[in-house]
Each structure stands twice: as structure tokens, then as C-alpha cells.
Amino acid sequence: MTNNIAGNAATERDPRSWTAVLAQYRRPRPVRSTVEIAVTALPFTALWAFAAVSAVNGFWWGLLATIPAAGFLVRLFILQHDCGHGTLFARRALNNWTGRIIGVFTLTPYDYWRRTHAVHHATAGNLDKRGIGDIHTLTVREYRALSWWGRVRYRLYRHPVVMFGVGPAWLFVCQYRLPFGMMRAGLQPWISTIATNLGAALPVAGLIWLMGLGPFLMVQVPITLIAATAGVWLFYVQHQFEATHWSEDEEWNFQRAALHGSSHYDLPFVLRWITGNIGIHHVHHLSATVPFYRLPEVLRDHPDLRDIGRVTILQSLKCVKLALWDESANRLVSFREARRHGAAATTA
């Protein structure tokens, strides 16, 4: 009962007022940020090395270390993500160079990704500005207007095997090797992708020479694919949940879209730590300049934010079937629901 009252209070509050409230949490703590880098990068390196030694010497059980290593790679990406928002350190240059270095390990060109991600934050939930840095989502009306082949392609795109299998591999292994979507956006995206490719190619070549191609692939491929899939899954649940928010440009409001269009993915402590609190996504979108390690402080001090857009692990599994925005019901629906409602409307 208390949680419902708190949730209602936060929902009724003017979303714009949260901007001033969250301003006090924006200041990064350099020592804390440095420690966060160390406790992420060092275990990742140790686990990678252990898996590599196991692969070279035929201790196949040691390849299980690739699973936690992938988790730490996800956390490295969250550190890079915070650098992109300028929140890990106070100095912009230190954020940028830290992000670029981490990008070599995450295979994510920092400057290119930062530009597309900034577009995502500026347009999330805006039906008239879809297409950059988001998961392609059609309205029910748009889907029904497609040709037969167009519907097949969209259904394939939204299929879990593609979304969480083929998609993550394509994104991190192929798409990030060239500045797709920003081919004509100047030199920076090109420099970013090429520099990241070269920065990754040199240590990869050295490791292959040292341990052999087979053992290297046995270690690197599962780490990359597991981390990529986890990253795409997190991004999916953060915006593709039933009660998310979408609106047309003239009705769109940044704070309302941030508060109601992003979920609070309520994870157990270990998963919350390994994912860098990114599940507290509604707060992150309200103020992207709050460092990731200060997001729990916001929920502690403002418990009325906890229940807004809250999604548990069990509930998140049900989000997979959601694929279309129903403008009449103001919620995401499945293909089956859209078909059933369409048939009911025709009968009526």
C-alpha cells in the first residue's frame, strides 16, 4: 500500500521538477570513479587471462571463466557510457580519453557511439524522431499499412532470435566497424571507428601470435557475444516495456518521456552491480549527468521513484513479445494483440 502511494505521488508530480532535484547528484567523485575502473578492468583482465591459459593447455572447464568475464565487459561498457555523458570525471578530456581506451576493449568506437547515443537521449519516446540509437518500433497503424513483405521483415527484425542473437553480434562485430547511420556526419565518426579498429587489431594480432588463433577465438568470441547479448537485452528492457511512453513531436516532453518512457529494471544486487545500475534508467534519462554509482542514492533519498516503470526479471521476460505501439491504448502490444484488436474493430 505504501509503495502504491509513493508511486502515485511521483506520477502526479510535474516531471520537470525532477531536474532541479537531481542536480545535487551530478558531481562525480574522481577517487570513486578511479576505483570503479580498477575493480572492473582488473577482474576482467584476470578472467580473460585465466580463460586463455585454460584454452592453450586444454583445461576446457576453465573456459567457464568467459561468462563472468563477459559480465565485467558489460560493466566496462557502462563506464564508457558514463564517460560519454561526461559523468565519470569532472574534466571533459579525461572522460573522452578514458572512454576511447575502454572502447578498444568493448569494440565500440567511443566518439561515434557518443553522438548516436546523444540523439537517443534527445528523442527517446518521440514518434516523429525514431531511427537513431534506438530499437526500431512501429505503431499498429504503420504496421498494418505495410506490404506483406514489409510485415515479414519487421516480424523477423523483432523475433527474439534476431533481436538477441543475430542482432548483438552484427552490432558489435560488424556495424561498429564503420560509422553506419553517420556516413556523412563529418570526419569524427570515421576517425573514431578507424582508430578503435586499429586499437583493437594490434593487441588481437599479438594475442593470436602468442596463443594461436583457435584458443584466442575460444576465449574472445563467447565473451563478446555474451556481453553483446546482455547489453542489447538491457537496452531493450529499458524502453520496450508495456507501460512505456511514446508521443508525437508536438506533444512530446523530454522530462515526461524520460520518467515514463524508461523503465526501472529492478535487478538483484549482484546483477545491479555488474550492470552499473543502468537499470535505474528512468532516473538516468531524467538526468544523464548523474554518475552511475550515485543512481542508488537517488532512489534511497526519493523512494517515490522506485515504482515508476518498475520491471522485475520475471516481468521483463514477458516484454519480448511486445513489438508495436498501440496509439489508441497508449501501450506496447504484441502482434497477436494487434491482430485481435484489429479483428474486433472490423467486426464492430
Contact 322, 241 (CB under 8 A): yes
In this structure, of 189-203, 229-243, 263-277, the range with the lowest mean pLDDT score is: 189-203
Query: Predicted confidence band at 90 (pLDDT cuts at 50, 70, 90)?
Result: very high
The 10 Å CB-count burial string (b at 16+, else e) for 238-264 is: bbbbbebbbbeeeebebbbbbbbbbbb
In a domain, 247, yes or no: no
Residue 332 counted as domain residue: no
Average the pLDDT over 121-150 and give the result. 92
What pLDDT shows up at residue 16?
A: 72
Q: Which domain holds residue 278?
A: 2-130+156-241+252-312
pLDDT band, very low/low/confident/very high, at 6 (cuts 50, 70, 90): very low
| Domain-embedded: residue 187 | yes
Question: What is the pLDDT averaged over residues 242-259?
Answer: 91
On whether residue 268 sits in a domain, the answer given is: yes
11 pLDDT tier (thresholds 50, 70, 90): low
- What is the rounded average pLDDT of the residues 34-50? 98
Distance CA 106, CA 228 (A): 9
Mean pLDDT of all residues in 269-280: 97
What pLDDT does 133 receive?
Answer: 78
Q: What are phi and psi of 182, to 5 degrees?
A: -135, 35
* Number of folded domains that form the chain: 1
Burial of 78 (0-12, 13-18, 19+ CB in 10 A): buried
pLDDT of residue 87: 95
273 phi, psi to nearest 5 deg: -70, -45
Pairwise CA distance, residues 42 & 34, whole Å: 12
What count of other Cβ atoms lies within 10 Å of the Cβ of residue 21?
A: 15
Q: Is the pLDDT at 30 greater than 60, yes or no?
A: yes
Give the range among 35-39, 192-196, 216-220 with minimum mean pLDDT. 192-196
The 10s digit of each residue's pLDDT in 196-242 is 999 999 999 999 999 999 999 999 999 999 999 999 999 999 999 99
Answer whether residue 137 is part of any domain.
Answer: no
Residue 324 lies inside a defined structural domain of this protein: no
Residue 344 falls inside a structural domain: no
pTM, whole model, 2 decimals? 0.90
pLDDT at residue 5 in the model: 43
Please indicate, yes or no, if residue 335 is contained in any of the structural domains.
no
